[in-house]
Amino acid sequence: MMFCPKCGSLLKTKLERGKTVMYCSCGFSSKNVDNTEIHEKVEVETKEVEIVDSDVEAYPKVDAKCNKCENDKAYFWLVQTRAGDEPETKFFKCTKCSHTWRENN
């Protein structure tokens, strides 16, 4: 990259009468650009993708009886399904059969 010697801004290129010219918004222009090399470097950061088992649940377990298999443990989470001044809905998912149900407050 080249910078303007007058104001320090980044110089831009344009084609003027068949020659490449470097210019600045302050009025500076450089006619000797033919021997100037322009380099561009793009850095790509790669990250490894972490694979998580589908059996892992991030929700807390509570004591709740499943209506389908009679298991007494379930995961739960809260979702605001109605207006903001209404209580949230509690959802449960059985730890044994994955049956999902909800409880309105």
| Domain presence at residue 2 | yes
Q: How many helices (H) and strands (E) does the chain have?
A: 0, 7
pLDDT at 101: 92
Residue 3 has pLDDT above 70, yes or no: yes
As a whole number, the mean pLDDT across the chain is 82
86 flagged as catalytic: yes
pTM of the model: 0.46
**36-80 pLDDT tens trace:** 566 678 888 888 888 776 666 678 899 999 989 999 999 999 988
Domain assignment of residue 94, given as a range: 61-104
Write down the catalytic residue from 16, 57, 86, 103. 86
| Domain presence at residue 97 | yes
Residue 5 has pLDDT above 60, yes or no: yes
**What does the pLDDT average to over 82-97?**
89
95 touches 65 (CB < 8 A):
no
**What does the pLDDT average to over 10-33?**
79
57 flagged as catalytic: no
Write down the catalytic residue from 72, 85, 88, 103. 85
In what side-by-side order are the strands of the sheet with 29-30?
Answer: 12-16, 19-23, 29-30
Total of domains in the chain: 2
